[in-house]
Chains A and B, each alone.
Chain A
Amino acid sequence: MSRALVELQNLKVTFPTPQGRVAVVDDVSISLEEGKVLALVGESGCGKSMTALALMRLVPKPGRIEDGSGIRFNDIDVPTLSVPEMRALRGNEMSMIFQDSMTSLNPVVRVGDQVVEAIRLHERISYDAARKRVLELFERVGIPDPEQRFSTYPHLLSGGLKQRVMISMAVATRPRLLIADEPTTALDVTVQAQILELLRELKRELGTTILLITHDLAVVNELADHVVVMYAGKVVEQAERRTLLTSARHPYTEGLLGAIPQRGERGKGLNEIEGVVPPPDEWPAGCRFSSRCNQLFAPCRDNAPPEVSFGEGHVAWCHALDKGAGS
């Protein structure tokens, strides 16, 4: 077994609300092995992006990573790093592709120069040398006519090209960890497939460890080795990809799986979950999924769900499963 590159222990990220600080990421513990792809899945608002941002210490104000959260990256204790030390990690050892490629590039800086900056922040090389590397990178990530594209501005590029620029920026320094936050959601279906293919190739070539955030289980199936399912700031189930996709146990995961259109049947799946994730200050006290669960029974509303293990790293947190295992 290879060692863990990323280790989150009881990560807690809070935001202030009128009722006090609410944890939008609550006691999340995840471990990501070197060279593997870990998919973080869940509906919108489950805290996936916040978990990733916490890892890079980029949680936006007024959000805060609470004391006692363990974040280890490459055996470095991330919360105790000084600001310059953290800066040296970001974009160098760990980098991130953002959810919205439309707005994530600086609109008034030439796209090539934005990638050059990513390189020159971490390596002492001349502008021309960096420029040459960027042109090669553009070529590699499938941007046609790199020379010309180097000097254009983001608004002149299609969504797919912008995302390719973002990807080239993220891999420019050959980071050990690449966080891809819904890298394909904003794109057309055909472009989505191309970007996924590119990520798969880069992973193979560079051996980069990837934290892939998505709410699309089809993407998980394409790319992931391991899957962590989040609901309302909590991890509810985790397993190897195949296990999770074929024999998920948690009602929420089952609901998510039911929501993927199967081959030949478009539209609604059988098990699709009703409603949406409530806002953080309305999350139920006991099991957070209790307000939408179809297997609800007595302890769900009041008590936190127990951890139930199914072997080979397959774990779920659910009262219903505990009852099943116990009886």
Chain B
Amino acid sequence: MFAYIVRRLAYGAVTVLGVLLLLFVLFFAIADPDDIARQAIGERASAEVYEQWKVNHGYDKPLVINAEHGVLEPGRYTDTLLFEHYRSMLTFDFGRSDADDVPIAERLRQGALPSLSLTLPLFALSLVVGVFFALLVAFFRDTYVDFAVLVMCMLAMSVASLIYIIAGQYLIGLTLKWFPISGFDADPALVIRFLALPIIIGVIASFGGDVRLYRTVFIEETNKDYVRTARAKGCGDARVMVRHVLRNALIPILTSVVLAIPFLFVGSLLFENFFGIPGLGAITVEAINGNDFSTLRTMVYISALLFIVAQILTDISYTLADPRVRLS
């Protein structure tokens, strides 16, 4: 078990290094520092202004090898953009925004809370609602209840998230006026009003797919031999579902769910943008629109990092939930 975790972490570390290399190629070799400077301050500045900007933002070094240093001096390799890229990303020293010189770490701190205040409740609520309905449907399988919910799920799945957002804003926000259409407030007491609509819409948007997936898992479990044993002991249907099937089904469900965490982060690009939530997703969109390469690089890096961490957590949670894996 311990050896497994160590090995898994080592794989993760190698993946992170690979991702950083890819980012370096994208952000420094393909879009070179001169392009970035031109994008940031415009076409018409003088050569000195460009140089000064590059010095200020740390783009003034050679890419991979610094010829100013001798072959045997470490500076030949460390005083370069490649080394600087790895150092800053691995130590989470993200530097400043190319667009407005604000420290990126500051931005992340400000954006994290609004993002999490949306994604976390959305994630938890979707999971609970999805599992609950799937359990119900699996309980009533091969009846009209099951059939009706399945048809509903199929319909729900075939509609894009964007439609839910627009329709939800129109119906709940504009027509019924239950909640504000968009906006955010730092005060936790007030922010709930703003978050209600995106959370409701988010749960509805993921409902169809979740229920269908979880239902399949539940029904597959229901056909297993241990379920028959439980019935033969005298367990009722509800008890069989909750005490026996749920625990086994939670293993595959957990796997799919933990993997979804980073996708929620990326997925909130859409939601934060439409609902005016100043979170990490909104910052990313802003960075793309404003040619803010250093911020964008950081955001892509963090997404990738979250994804890798999520995969490791999935594997570990899988082992914790399943004694067959846990103890071997």
Contacts and interface: CB of A to CB of B under 8 A. Distances in A.
B230 to A, nearest CB: 7
Contacts of A95: 232-233
A121 interface: yes
A56 interface: yes
Interface string B223-259: 0111011111111100000011001100100000000
Nearest to B248: A108
A108 B234 contact: no
A36 B295 CA distance: 81
A118 interface: yes
Contacts of A226: none
B232 A56 contact: yes
Of A61, A103, A108, the most chain B CB neighbours within 10 A belong to A108
Given A153-B323, A156-B327, A106 B229 contact: yes
Interface string A110-133: 000000011001100000000000
Sorted from nearest, which 8 A-B pairs have the closest CB atoms? A91-B234, A91-B233, A153-B323, A103-B225, A106-B226, A90-B234, A118-B233, A121-B234
A173 B289 CA distance: 71
B44 interface: no
Contacts of A84: 236
12 contacts: A87-B234, A91-B235, A95-B232, A105-B229, A106-B248, A107-B324, A108-B251, A118-B233, A118-B234, A121-B233, A166-B229, A169-B233
Interface residues of B, number: 23
Interface in B298-328: 321-324, 327
B43 interface: no
A118 B236 CA distance: 12
A104 interface: yes
A103 B231 CA distance: 14
Given A106-B230, A153-B323, A98 B142 contact: no
Given A61-B142, A98-B229, A100-B225, A107 B234 contact: no
A169 B243 CA distance: 17
Contacts of B247: 106, 108-109
